[in-house]
Amino acid sequence: MEWGSGRAPLGGLFEGECEIERGAGDARLCNFGYARGLCASFPDAAVADAVRFSVSGSADGVVRVLWILEKDHAPVEHGVLEYRESAGEFVEMPEGVLGEQVRVFVENYLARKIGGHKL
C-alpha cells in the first residue's frame, strides 16, 4: 500500500514527532492508527489504537465533528464537538492529543471547504 493512498483520519498526511520517545515512532503508522504491536513506542496501556473524525454537519457557521476512539477495530469512546467559524474556536475543546488532532482535522476541513482558512 502506498502511504499516501486512502483516507487519512486528520484529512491529510502528517509528519511529526513521537510523543513517547522523540523520533522513535513511525509517522506513517500514526497517520492511520493501529500501530500497537508495530511501533516500539506505542504504549501498551493506551486506551485506544486509533482515532476517527467525521464532519456530521455544517450549517449556520457551526461545524459539528464526530470523534471516535477505537481499540481492536471497535469504538471505546466517542463524542461530538462543535466549532464556531465566526469565533474561530470550539465550544468545548478536549485537552491533550485529541484536542490537537481535532483542531488539525477541522483546519483541513475548512481549508478544503473555503480554500485556505486557518484556525
Q: Which residue has the cell 471547504?
A: 113
> Cβ of 49: how many Cβ atoms within 10 Å?
18
- Give Cα 69 to chain centroid, integer Å: 10
pLDDT band at 37 (very low <50, low <70, confident <90, very high): confident
Q: What percent of the chain lies above the pLDDT cut of 70? A: 69
CA–CA dist 38, 40 (Å, integer): 6
pLDDT band at 57 (very low <50, low <70, confident <90, very high): very high
Task: Say if CB 2 and CB 46 are below 8 A apart.
Answer: no
Give yes or no for residue 92 having a pLDDT over 70.
yes
Q: What is the pTM of this model?
A: 0.74
Give yes or no for residue 13 having a pLDDT over 80.
no
